[in-house]
Amino acid sequence: MAFDSRRLHDFLAVFPDRGINMDRNTMEYTPEMLALLEAQREHFASDDHIRREVEPWRDASPEERLAAVAEMCAAGDHFLSQLHPDTLERVLRPVPLPEDTIQILMALRQTTAG
């Protein structure tokens, strides 16, 4: 199973880029953009979308699945290679965990260690 760029094209046709006001350092989220984001969330969360996404994997062998994932990773690598170095650094910077999450993880660690 190969990465199908037509699917990306179809997605972009369904959710056209509108309502975005962007300059070098800021992005303004307009009501249209927020509505677009909500439509995208609803689309990707729908049962029909999930069924369509998993259908090609149903009869794929582990080797076919691994090859498809490797191809998707290569596409991601290519996309990242196109970013400005400052943007790439920001994108790859890990998101810090919230303090309450750290406390929960530390408590779990202590209960399993002792």
pLDDT at 113: 78
- Find where tokens 């046709």 sit: 13
Q: What is the pLDDT of residues 29-49, one digit of tens each?
A: 888 888 999 999 999 999 999
| Beta carbons of 30 and 19 less than 8 angstroms apart | yes
Name the β-bridge partners of 29.
20
Looking at mean pLDDT, say which of 16-20, 26-30, 65-69 comes out highest: 65-69
What pLDDT, on a 0 to 100 scale, did the predictor assign at position 2?
Answer: 47
State the helix-helix crossing angle for 62-81 and 85-92, rounded to 10 degrees: 130
The pLDDT-based confidence of 114 (bands split at 50, 70, 90) is low
5: phi then psi, degrees, rounded to nearest 5: -65, -20
Q: How confident is the model at residue 104 (pLDDT cuts 50, 70, 90)?
A: very high
Q: What is the pTM of this model?
A: 0.44
Q: Is the pLDDT of residue 92 over 80?
A: yes
Percentage of the chain surpassing pLDDT 70? 75
Q: Is 68 exposed, middle or buried (0-12, 13-18, 19+ CB in 10 A)?
A: middle
Mean pLDDT of 63-87: 93
Instruction: Please report, as a single letter, which amino acid is at residue 114.
Output: G
Tell me the C-alpha distance between 88 and 80, whole Å: 7
